[in-house]
Structure 1
Amino acid sequence: MEETGTDAENASIDPSMLSTRWAIAERVLSDAFGFDRLLPPQKKVIERLFDGRNVVAVMPTGSGKSLCYQLVSQCLPHLTVVVSPLVALMKDQGDSLKRRGIEVARLDHSASPQELRLDLKRVRSGHCKLLYVSPERFFNERFRAVLGETPISMLAVDEAHCMSEWGHHFRPDYLRLPDVVEEHSIPQVLALTATAPQRVVREIRSAFGLERTDVVKVPTHRSNLHLQCTQVTSRERDERLLEQLRKAAKSRSKGVTIVYVTRRRTAEQLAESLNEEGLSAMAYHAGLTSEQRDSIQQWFLESNNGILVGTVAFGMGVDKPNVRRVIHYNPSSSLEGYSQEIGRGGRDGKATQCQTWLVPEDQIAIRNLPCSDWPTKESVERLLDRLIGQPDSFYLSLGKLAWEVNLSSGVVGTFMIQLRQRGHLELLPARYDVYRVKPRCDISEIVSRSDAIDPEAVSAIVASLVKAKRAYRVNLVVATRQYRVPRNRLVAALEELSLSGVIELESSELMHGYRWVERIARPAATVKHLLKRFDASMEATQQRIDSMMEFIACKECLPVAMAAHFGSRRSRPCGKCSTCRGEGPWDTQLNPPDSIGDSAQRAMTDAIAEYPDLFSDPIDQAKFLCGLYTPAFMRFRVNRHFGFGVCESVPFTTVLAAMRAN
């Protein structure tokens, strides 16, 4: 794509406009946010944005990244769109901004139809200049319909490291963002991340065509976070953790604690144990319902001394100033993740303890979990078989497709992006397969009450309504074919009917669209390429774990080591971390067993006899023994077999080697 923020555009920002923008910014900063000045990094970012330039902002968690786009949005002439994968963050920031008197809207699945209708009215009228959008909303037909001709001044990409295939949190949809910038003629881009090594920063810059001078980077570590890493046995860890939390409970300085664990089961068991010891603890993980997670998160935000025991699913979007302790019961799987997790502590600037308990065997689970995504050759072949028979343009539910070919939806999405990169596919705007309509008047009155809306499209919609349980369904494919009204006009009419209050509109079953550019002529070579790319990404994942293990071995000052990892310079030791206090270095090396044992072999033989169609590939056999889930395992409830997870404490690579040797 062409580079945004060109010299011609920069030249158009005259001194009087700059002066006006800064005057507005200073007033909003004081009146709405209660600050009398910006922090130096925030000022650097905003200066560049006010000059009409693009920015990649690499700033640690808790350093005020969000204020950069929140403040600038109030000073630019048109809408600022913030794309974030974190619904909790969007809701939390949206509620906070509204309390400060700033107009804000959001489009995500948690918003009610009434909230969406009111928010979109304010966006289109120009009263609201800040819109939060989740990726699944941003890339589909409804977003284009509701936005209409609304001009966009800036796109803010939160968690921009999600664009990198080699990063720790890759999201395939994020690679579509540059196309959207071009499609909507968005003049400025602000990409924000707390955790981006040099390679990832280069990828972000390359995606948007940004210059090296467009990068504003802040040292990753905040000095009020005191880093400690201590090697212990499993039993010692539980005893010392309990001692640590009891001491904190008796301390005069109130504050909450986050305890990070790798597995959901560990979160529940540890929280139960702490409650039995008289401490107030709650478990949080992705296996809970959204209502349960919301309730626990609210409890944590309101607590003065609570203990939240959670997997990495917890913390995204949580902004609580008095987190006094961030404890890693199990180590993080990457320095990027670790940096984000400890960054949730000490946001009030006060000293915060960041303790990692190192049991070397813990890294087995950390290394094994990503292997649940490892594709078999047969699964990739099935994926290509499904694609090769598709017409020139087609739509698929990636979730259903993943279920059919026995791959995770994330892997399928990544493979589709890679097929695009190889020149096979072009991405089309995603669309919903199901639209539900709840009329707010008699059906016969819909046409007469929508005079200002496309009458032909409205008539086609009304004629296509089919009564369902909770509402009416409208099949846009049938409506387009039968009444010869293009789909984009039908969707636009539905959105206008919703905005005008004539109907309530719900959509579901997101379908991703593709168009063949060059069909796959050599499937075997393509399968080989996709598997090779996955192996490379898996190697990068394991290298991130290696870096994490090297870090917590405490061979040098921990903040110095962290700065080096993220491409910053720090020569002076902190004087506070484990290494500086004379602890370590620790031995993080593992000595895995040479074999998996006869009992595991017998369990595998029994499982193959019971499920003969599921274990043709050694990769699936190794996943079964290590207790890793696949869509097929979930479908047939293989986890109920006595052998599922029998090698949970054995490295996946060791188990896989044993299965391949059979």
Structure 2
Amino acid sequence: MQQLLQSHFGFSEFRPGQEQVVRAILDGHSAAAIFPTGSGKSLCYQLPALCLPHLTIVVSPLLALIQDQISFLNSKGIAAASIDSTQSREETNEVMAGVRAGVIKILMISVERLNNERFRQFIAGVPISLLVVDEAHCISEWGHNFRPDYLKLPSYQQALNIPQTLLLTATATSKVIEDMGSKFGIKPEHITLTGFYRPNLHLGVKGLSSTDKLDYLSTWLQTRQLSSGIIYVTLQQTAEKVAEQLKARGISAKAYHAGMTSEVRHAIQHQFMSGEQGIIVATIAFGMGIDKSDIRFVVHYDLPKSIENYAQEIGRAGRDGGDSECLVLANGDNLSTLENFVYGDTPEPSGIGIVLNEIKKAAFEHRSSQLPQWELVLNSLSNQSNIRPLSLKTLLVYLELLNVIKPTYSYFAEYKFKFLLPEAEVIEYFTAERRDFIRAIFTTADRAKIWSSVNFDSLNQTYASDRQRVLKAINYLDEKGMIELQSKQMTQVYQIVNSEFELKELTAKLSKRFLNKEASEVARINHLVELFTSPNCLSRQLAHYFSDDQMTQDCGVCTACRGERAILPPPPYLTPLEEHDFNQVCADVVAKLGTACTPVLVARFLCGLTTPLFTKLKLRSAKGYAQFERYRFSDVKLWVTQGLK
């Protein structure tokens, strides 16, 4: 271990917690590492990957993180690669060949890649030693960034016969740690927490009205503008506006957000990493995967989305151990916006009822089968039920947990191909029965001018063939450059375990679960405000929140410890809702919604929250859309309910 640490990574000793985790993995155990941002979690899989006999597969939520890690590993002489949507067909095939040959030791993918039928077929034939789950808090619905696809990882681990798992995260509460560990069967003694507190980060909160923030920030930056720093904002237009206003005051700042082209973003990121550009005004699109050691300050111009987000974002400062400042300019102006995003994700009972009815319908249609199946295309069901895709994924996970449905597999409904070599030449490449099989695939395909679609039913009638064999054949032709293959329209197939549920009862139960999740998310925002306005040590409160009991004394340097408790100024005056004419504001949307009209939908419309139905009816351009986006959703809903009576 020490030799590899020195020879490959150039370190003479491990950082706190690393050796314990690496040893657990090399001793054959599954493990979890809960380390603060920037404290070396990645080494916990990078070093074992060199010793383990087979592939290490790393699931990571962000492409930027994946690309950053691969560049680092390749610079250290470690064969690592990714399979992702930005690659050409040739690049993907080259990576797959390297993985099959055992040349590539580490393969990095997004969790969604495992939904891909073609990828699963490929990876099932590869021996894997270790599954690494980065940002592992995403697996818990009690975490701040719950992603339903992560819940499938334990079943993928079993299906692919992966003997060990390593979970990595910086932001997990006690409840989340317990949830993560239980899902992968990780023993408590193999869960390593190094403590959250970093004494070189000096935390500060200043309560300011929105009109005073820029003046305060400009003055604060005067003595710091030669240092590297990130200023976080919520909205893309705020990033542009603040950067321009700082430049007008002689402070060199550049905006960065997801609305820019990838070329512009990469250029700005490169300028920041090289030290050519010191200050970046950015949305949270900037930061994941940024491993710059000398960031001297992180400012939150707007309130962060949660304590977890705040912890991740300030964790990018001071990775070299040098003193760094983390300042929040706190006002309550965007609190309603943060809360309202939560309300936009909660499905209505009617939408849940539509999904449950679809399950009952599928069970009835397949009533003669011992194992009735339900097939769905997520976007189609989202539009049908008016439930946002991510919330619909969560609903499906809840139904799995209640043993109503069980995921079996997913497949692409359509496989299209075009010939890169003459058809006759492709057929003649094969001999005997294989030639007949390939010819049958082509002759039964639905032809168009350039592209043809594989017709599995027609093929089966002409030449009885297993779907997996067909997929293997067309993937082979694609890899060999004989055809170009495209797949689309992901269809998910579930086994219906129980269709005898009482519709009203289950709808109410699921609605309650979503409302509990909604309340939990809103409470998370309130908890953030309580932390920032508390008279108690900010660092100690954060450490306690993240299960760190090692910090027993106040830090002495944060604004609370210095007696500078933040007081939020009152939010700007909003005309009371009662003073607005309901019919004047809502007549257009009520008419366009027609029989679908509910208080929740009208309130979402007024607060600027999108739903699949709004997209279908083009309601974003209707009169009144987002008119009340600065009001609290709960207040708007009450006003709408009274107006509709």
Matches within 5 A, 1:99-110: 99-110=75-86
Deviations along 1:595-617, one digit per CA (max 9) or x if unpaired, are 51333634433333542428621
Kindly report the root-mean-square deviation, in angstroms, between the aligned alpha carbons of the 2 structures. Answer: 2.6
Of 358-367 and 238-247, more deviation after overlay is shown by: 238-247
Deviations along 1:394-448, one digit per CA (max 9) or x if unpaired, are 4322123213322110110000111111111110222223334344422222234
Aligned to 2:144, the other structure's residue is in SS state coil
Q: Distance in 2 between matches of 1:435 and 1:303?
A: 47
Tell me the residue number matched to 2:300. 328
Matches within 5 A, 1:335-414: 335-390=307-362, 392-414=372-394
Instruction: Note if 1:197 corresponds to 2:170.
Output: no
Q: Is the 8 A contact 1:446 1:462 kept in 2?
A: no
Out of 156, 162, 170, the residue aligned to residue 138 of structure 2 is 162
Structure 2 CA distance for partners of 1:482 and 1:519, relative to 1, 3 Å: farther
Q: Is the 8 A contact 2:197 2:540 kept in 1?
A: no
Out of 457, 475, 491, the residue aligned to residue 471 of structure 2 is 491
Q: Is the 8 A contact 2:295 2:316 kept in 1?
A: yes
Tell me the residue number matched to 2:425. 445
Matches within 5 A, 1:459-474: 459-466=439-446, 471-474=451-454
Out of 616, 619, 636, the residue aligned to residue 617 of structure 2 is 636
Q: Distance in 1 between matches of 2:625 and 2:266?
A: 32
Q: Distance in 2 between matches of 1:457 and 1:349?
A: 63
Matches within 5 A, 1:6-405: 22=1, 26-249=2-225, 251=226, 254-255=227-228, 257-288=229-260, 293-390=265-362, 392-405=372-385
Q: Distance in 2 between matches of 1:614 and 1:358?
A: 43
**Residue 368 of structure 1: CA displacement?**
1.5
Q: Distance in 2 between matches of 1:482 and 1:278?
A: 75
Q: Is the 8 A contact 1:334 1:544 kept in 2?
A: yes
- Give the AA of the match of 1:131: L
Instruction: Note if 1:417 corresponds to 2:389.
Output: no
Q: Distance in 1 between matches of 2:512 and 2:114?
A: 31
Aligned to 2:162, the other structure's residue is in SS state coil
Identify unmatched segments of 5+ residues in structure 1. 1-21
Of 374-383 and 500-509, more deviation after overlay is shown by: 500-509
Q: Distance in 1 between matches of 2:145 and 2:432?
A: 45
Structure 2 CA distance for partners of 1:573 and 1:600, relative to 1, 3 Å: farther
- Give the AA of the match of 1:616: C
Out of 553, 563, 577, the residue aligned to residue 572 of structure 1 is 553
Structure 2 CA distance for partners of 1:357 and 1:223, relative to 1, 3 Å: same
Q: Is the 8 A contact 1:438 1:503 kept in 2?
A: yes
**Residue 544 of structure 1: CA displacement?**
1.1
The TM-score normalised by the length of structure 2 is 0.92
Aligned to 1:505, the other structure's residue is in SS state strand
Of 637-646 and 369-378, more deviation after overlay is shown by: 637-646
The TM-score normalised by the length of structure 1 is 0.89
Q: Is the 8 A contact 2:333 2:572 kept in 1?
A: no
Of 152-161 and 595-604, more deviation after overlay is shown by: 595-604
Q: Is the 8 A contact 1:57 1:190 kept in 2?
A: yes
**Residue 193 of structure 1: CA displacement?**
0.8
Q: Is the 8 A contact 1:145 1:495 kept in 2?
A: no
Q: Distance in 2 between matches of 1:343 and 1:115?
A: 34
Q: Distance in 2 between matches of 1:551 and 1:154?
A: 38
Tell me the residue number matched to 1:645. 626
Aligned to 1:37, the other structure's residue is in SS state coil
- Give the AA of the match of 2:210: S
Q: Distance in 2 between matches of 1:266 and 1:372?
A: 22
Out of 497, 514, 538, the residue aligned to residue 517 of structure 1 is 497
Q: Distance in 2 between matches of 1:77 and 1:49?
A: 13
**Residue 463 of structure 1: CA displacement?**
3.1
Matches within 5 A, 1:587-606: 587=568, 595-599=576-580, 601-606=582-587
**Residue 553 of structure 1: CA displacement?**
0.9
Identify unmatched segments of 5+ residues in structure 2. 367-371
Structure 2 CA distance for partners of 1:639 and 1:149, relative to 1, 3 Å: closer
**Residue 497 of structure 1: CA displacement?**
2.8
Q: Is the 8 A contact 2:403 2:498 kept in 1?
A: yes
Aligned to 2:470, the other structure's residue is in SS state helix
Tell me the residue number matched to 2:588. 607
Q: Is the 8 A contact 1:450 1:497 kept in 2?
A: no
Q: Distance in 2 between matches of 1:346 and 1:461?
A: 59
Of 113-122 and 614-623, more deviation after overlay is shown by: 614-623
**Residue 286 of structure 1: CA displacement?**
4.2
Q: Is the 8 A contact 1:464 1:474 kept in 2?
A: yes
- Give the AA of the match of 1:532: K
Tell me the residue number matched to 2:600. 619
Q: Is the 8 A contact 1:142 1:491 kept in 2?
A: yes
Q: Distance in 1 between matches of 2:528 and 2:575?
A: 25
**Residue 72 of structure 1: CA displacement?**
0.9
Deviations along 1:330-384, one digit per CA (max 9) or x if unpaired, are 1112111111111122223222221100112332221112111122222222333
Q: Is the 8 A contact 1:457 1:493 kept in 2?
A: no
Structure 2 CA distance for partners of 1:478 and 1:385, relative to 1, 3 Å: farther
Q: Distance in 2 between matches of 1:76 and 1:457?
A: 40
Q: Is the 8 A contact 2:55 2:105 kept in 1?
A: yes
Q: How many residues align?
A: 634
Aligned to 1:32, the other structure's residue is in SS state helix
Structure 2 CA distance for partners of 1:598 and 1:386, relative to 1, 3 Å: farther
Deviations along 1:107-142, one digit per CA (max 9) or x if unpaired, are 221222111111111111111111112111123321
Structure 2 CA distance for partners of 1:28 and 1:244, relative to 1, 3 Å: same
- Percent pairwise identity: 34
Of 640-649 and 337-346, more deviation after overlay is shown by: 640-649
Q: Is the 8 A contact 2:139 2:150 kept in 1?
A: yes
Tell me the residue number matched to 1:502. 482
Q: Is the 8 A contact 2:359 2:499 kept in 1?
A: no
**Residue 189 of structure 1: CA displacement?**
0.7
Q: Distance in 2 between matches of 1:228 and 1:397?
A: 48
Q: Is the 8 A contact 1:600 1:625 kept in 2?
A: no
**Residue 588 of structure 1: CA displacement?**
7.7
- Give the AA of the match of 2:331: V
Instruction: Note if 1:430 corresponds to 2:406.
Output: no
Structure 2 CA distance for partners of 1:383 and 1:92, relative to 1, 3 Å: same
